Amino acid sequence: MRQIALLLLIVILANHITNAQVTDSERFVKPMKLKPYVSGSFGELRSNHFHSGLDLTTNRKTGYRIYASDKGYVSRIKVSPYGYGKAIYIDHEGGYTTVYAHLERYSDRIDSLIRANQYEKKSFAIELFFKEGEVPVERGEVIGYSGNSGSSGGPHLHYEVRDKASQKPMNPLLFRDDIKDEVRPQVQGMKLYCLSDDASIGGKRKDHYVTTVFYNKAFHPKGSTVFSAQGKIGVGVQVLDYFSDSWRKCGISTIDLYVNDTLVYDFKIEKFSFAESRYINSHIDYAEKKRSGKVIQKSWVEPNNKLSLYGKRNTYSTEIKPGDKKIFKYVIEDFHGNRSVLAFTVNGENPPPPVVKKKSPLVSVNFSKTFKLDTLGLKLSIPANTFYTNIEMLIHKDEKEGMIAPVYVVGNRNIPLHRSMSVSIPVPDSLHKYADKLLMAGVSANGKTYSLGGKFNDGRMSTSTRSFGRFSLAIDTIAPTIKLRKAPENRNYSGRQTIQLLINDNYSGIKKYECLIDGQWALFEYDAKNYRLTGTFKHMPFLKKGKHLLQVKVSDNRDNETIKEFSFSN
């Protein structure tokens, strides 16, 4: 008996050791069986957000099998013409959710479930939630096929791993070891900032950008590695990363900044909340990106930047005094531990002659307080914590030729807004008769207008926006257009699997569409980026062989509607 008990103990210990040796990188099945090429990395800096997953290219093609990373159940499915397009969410044991986005289609089992709901709700765009046990999936099961749906810029799979409880995205590279990266982060430039009115850099009261070069196993400012400054200054770094088999621009993992060998700032992205992702506009030099396209990560934290990715939230900046010598050193790593170093020195300088400040026409706004303004006919309502720090804002009224109403200049486009503000302007009496067709218009620098939507009420047009700019009025009375795309001869679709249409609107945008075949609602998928409606015949269970009448109704956001009928046979 003692020998049997000892044998059982050995077996149990062996199993425990084997299970303990299963690493995170072995936990999941790879979502595709293609050699992986990364076109977008986790944490990469995108417009208004951090990239939440891994983009894997698919040879510029669609239709590759997508496999479930592990055993679990489908917890959510979302189908949309925008964003992730066709996406599926799978919950797994161990506290993870995996996400597969921009799919071309789902597996037949899942697709039939979605299609039944689409016909029930008479809508292509749909979102479904499931409980454990309702739609189980096996490890490695085919759940769909790669595509280019939603707002995708080309065929690829967007793949995410999330913490199931919080739905915070995590770095998918932690769960795979087959992506080669031996390339160090590439430091492209650096910038010194004047953070106080009396600050100067190189004797000038303005920020200073310089490109960098690589030699002696480190990056250095081009020209001289020594700068002079005085007053309150901050620094920032322009950096990106590449993988060994791809020249797509990707993101880094950590940024540490040392001054005289003391760590004063550290940034690390392992996982984040979608709710905080927009703070990226404070993390970067937003104005520089708008002006030049350069993406510079600042190494100080503004007072209303609530991003959780900083280790030392001491809003680092430094006072430089004449005679000071401060040695700055950046240590930057990517997700595979490749490291780059950038070092430079800042010496204290004597201040330049004081500048006599002129009376400013700008309006000061405290970021922590609600701000309301009623002037020149313009009404603004800005919630507290809309800005990342205190700002100064320009308000101006311009009677611009060719516009149906004055143009109101509000703020500076180079200042980011974290929350939406309300903008309201008066509507001339002569335009009240167009109330249902009126909308707020944004006006670009070259005078072109674009729709900002809005509502007409009590003689005023109001809208909500997250951008400063120029605001005026426009009228949209033109209905959308509808055309058949590549119709066969005599509209005989017997040799085709789909029927396609192009729908477009010149101003306020497509609001809704409906397709009826012989009076019955038919499922047509909407590809918004290509203005395309696609009806797949096998997804129309009521459709028999013969002649049919397709009726298409499309309306825009000012309820201008177009109805067209097309006869066809199949």
Which among 231, 220, 255, 227 is positioned nearest to 241, based on CA atoms?
A: 255
**What pLDDT score does 193 carry?**
97
Which among 98, 89, 82 is positioned nearest to 153, based on CA atoms?
A: 82
Query: Which phi and psi (to 5°) does residue 361 adopt?
Result: -85, 0
Determine the Cα–Cα distance for residues 436 and 538; give it in Å rounded to an integer: 40
The segment(s) of the chain belonging to CATH 2.70.70.10 are 24-175
Which among 427, 382, 386 is positioned nearest to 404, based on CA atoms?
A: 427
The answer to whether 403 and 435 are in contact (CB under 8 A) is no
The answer to whether 515 and 521 are in contact (CB under 8 A) is yes
**Helix (H), strand (E) at residue 230:** strand 226-243
**What pLDDT score does 27 carry?**
86
The answer to whether 273 and 166 are in contact (CB under 8 A) is yes
Which among 348, 347, 341 is positioned nearest to 258, based on CA atoms?
A: 341
**What pLDDT score does 314 carry?**
59
**DSSP letter string, 411-450:** S-TTS--SS-EEEEEE--GGGGGGGGGEEEEEE-TTS-EE
The segment(s) of the chain belonging to CATH 2.60.220.30 are 363-475
The segment(s) of the chain belonging to CATH 2.60.40.10 are 481-569
**What pLDDT score does 26 carry?**
75
* Fold of the domain built from segment(s) 186-348: Coagulation Factor XIII; Chain A, domain 1 (2.70.50)
**What pLDDT score does 110 carry?**
97
The answer to whether 259 and 228 are in contact (CB under 8 A) is no
* Fold of the domain built from segment(s) 24-175: Glucose Permease (Domain IIA) (2.70.70)
**Helix (H), strand (E) at residue 50:** strand 49-50
For residue 239, the cross-strand partners are: 187
**What pLDDT score does 354 carry?**
83
pTM of the entire predicted model: 0.92
Determine the Cα–Cα distance for residues 525 and 106; give it in Å rounded to an integer: 14
Which among 461, 473, 466 is positioned nearest to 413, based on CA atoms?
A: 466
The answer to whether 494 and 542 are in contact (CB under 8 A) is no
- 74-146-99-241 Cα dihedral, nearest 10 degrees: 170
**What pLDDT score does 246 carry?**
83
Which among 107, 91, 108 is positioned nearest to 99, based on CA atoms?
A: 91
Q: Which residue has the tokens 């797509």?
A: 248
**Helix (H), strand (E) at residue 108:** helix 108-121
**DSSP letter string, 477-489:** -PPPEEEESSPPG
- HEC string of 519-569? CEECCEEEEHHHCEEEEEHHHCCCCCCCEEEEEEEEEECCCCEEEEEEEEE
The answer to whether 132 and 72 are in contact (CB under 8 A) is no
Determine the Cα–Cα distance for residues 197 and 257; give it in Å rounded to an integer: 24
Tens of pLDDT along the chain (570 residues) come to: 445 444 444 333 344 433 333 456 678 999 999 999 999 999 999 999 999 999 999 999 999 999 999 999 999 999 999 999 999 999 999 999 999 999 999 999 999 999 999 999 999 999 999 999 999 999 999 999 999 999 999 999 999 999 999 999 999 999 998 999 999 999 999 999 999 999 999 999 999 999 999 999 999 999 999 999 999 999 999 999 999 988 889 999 999 999 999 999 999 999 999 999 999 999 999 999 999 999 999 999 999 999 999 986 556 688 999 999 999 999 999 999 999 999 999 999 999 888 777 777 899 999 999 999 999 999 999 999 999 999 999 999 998 878 999 999 999 999 999 999 999 999 999 999 999 999 999 999 888 999 999 999 999 999 999 999 999 999 999 999 999 999 999 999 999 999 999 999 999 999 999 999 999 999 999 999 999 999 999 999 999 999 999 999 999 999 999 999 999 999
- HEC string of 179-210? CCCCCCCEEEEEEEEECCCCCEECCECCCEEE
CATH 2.60.220.30 fits 363-475, yes or no: yes
Which among 377, 464, 465 is positioned nearest to 428, based on CA atoms?
A: 377
Structure tokens of 47?
Answer: 């417009």
Question: In CATH, what class is 481-569?
Answer: mainly beta
**What pLDDT score does 315 carry?**
61
Determine the Cα–Cα distance for residues 429 and 472; give it in Å rounded to an integer: 15
